[in-house]
Amino acid sequence: MSRGPGEEELSTHDHAHDHRHGHDHAHPTLPDAAERLGYYQRMEIAVRELLIAKGIVTADAIRRSIEAMDARTPAQGARIVARAWTDAAYKQRLLDNGTAACQELGIEMGPTRLVVVENTPSVHNLIVCTLCSCYPRPVLGLPPDWYKSRAYRSRAVREPRAVLAEFGTVIPADIAVRVHDSTADMRYLVLPERPSGTAGMSEAELAALVTRDSMIGVATARQPTGG
Amino acid sequence: MKAAAQWSVTPALAARFAPGDRVRVRRADPPGHLRTPWYIRGHAGTVERLCGTFPNPEEIAYFRSGLPAQPLYRVRFAQKALWPDYAGADGDTIDIEIYQHWLEPA
């Protein structure tokens, strides 16, 4: 029988045998390395090795850059949102100039020009980049795989309400869905609505309710538990 | 606009449009690196804001300066005008960043 590797794995145990057997047949695993590198992978390695050989950058500097990129997480965005929920003047500055308001909280924004869009009782915002995968990395870290998928990128502009419903977010017809296609020089962050029942909560407690998906706009902020 | 002033690259072309202006995206298909999505070409919308002025990405892609910088706008389109069978509310919109050389008065 001819099977693909995925099928083989799924059906490994559909044949009759004792599970304490001595494993005399191979269980398929993912290969340790891709069989061959792609063009851009080879190019990246070649350029990196040349830059290091010529003393232009060091391996440690590259490693530190990767470490810094990986250290950026949605916790940054959550901190911004929680501050905006508790400080009306800060919220206004955030909506006026997202980059400056993030820098105010010590977040390194680099060249990112951030536009913050606010969810209200009459508007729900959703972010997509139909051209590639533009994403507000300084405040959310690396984008999830689905954000870069062709299906999300094409459907979020074409049928946003259906996409939102698949994420479990059903937007009533009297609330406008406003999609933002980040096609050029701006990056976008959704300021979700503050959940009800959070009046006495601290900024740190509020930040824990702010998920990555709520700042992309495919979900709302978490409801507090036990309330 | 505070943000626009801070984010502007110079020298730049003068802005032809202001928030609230009706504009139409050129229906064009030039070769090269373009950041105007296909689905919006030929459609009319309303300028939501001027984002600032930025080097033309179509020039930068070929190692040119992209100057003078192009005014960049956020333009808002009604979803029901884009997709005839759009399933959603009348008020649903999409905002897209479009460089000035892709816009004409509508």
CATH number at residue B96: 2.30.30.50
Instruction: Decide if A134 is catalytic.
Output: yes
* Residue A33 pLDDT level (bands cut at 50, 70, 90): low
pLDDT for the residue A13: 44
pLDDT at B1: 43
Chain mean pLDDT for chain A: 89
Point out the residue among B92, B93, B97 whose CB comes nearest to the CB of A184. B97
- Structural domain of residue B48, as residue ranges? 2-105
- B88·A161 Cβ contact <8 A: yes
What is the number of structural domains in chain B?
1
pLDDT-based confidence at residue B37 (cuts at 50, 70, 90): very high
A222: confidence class by pLDDT, cuts 50, 70, 90: very high
How many C-beta neighbours within 10 Å does residue A34 have?
8
Look at the domain A72-216 and name its fold. Answer: Nitrile Hydratase; Chain A (3.90.330)
- Is B101 within 8 Å of chain A by CB? no
Compute the average pLDDT of residues B4-32. 90
Q: Which pLDDT score, from 0 to 100, does residue A118 have?
A: 98
Contact of B61 with chain A, judged by CB distance below 8 Å, is answered with no
Interface of B with A in 1-30 (CB under 8 A): 2-3, 6-7
* pLDDT interval class at A37 (50, 70, 90): confident
How is residue A33 written in tokens?
């390395």
Question: Residue A22: what pLDDT?
Answer: 56
Kindly tell me if the per-residue pLDDT of A70 is higher than 70: yes
Dihedral sign for Cα A134, A140, A142, A148, please. Answer: negative
**Looking at the predicted structure, is the pLDDT value of residue A63 above 70?**
yes
Q: What is the pLDDT of residue A83?
A: 98
Read off the pLDDT of each residue in B92-99 and give the average, rounded to a whole number: 98
Would you call A132 a catalytic residue per the annotation? yes
Mean pLDDT value across residues A134-147: 95
Q: Measured between beta carbons, which residues in chain B are less than 8 angstroms from residue A178?
A: 92-95
Report pLDDT for A133: 87
CB of A217 within 8 Å of a chain B CB? The answer is: no
| 3-class SS string, chain B | CHHHHHHCCCCECCCCCCCCCEEEECCCCCCCCCCCCHHHCCCEEEEEEEEEEECCHHHHCCCCCCCCEEEEEEEEEEHHHHCCCCCCCCCCEEEEEEEHHHEEEC
pLDDT band at A24 (very low <50, low <70, confident <90, very high): low
pLDDT given at position A172: 97
Q: Where in chain A are the domains? A: 38-71, 72-216
Q: Select from B25, B50, B92 the residue whose CB has the most chain A CBs within 10 Å, as the one to mutate to test that interface.
A: B92
Tell me whether B72 touches chain A (CB under 8 Å): yes
Give the A window 64-83 contacts with B, CB below 8 Å: none
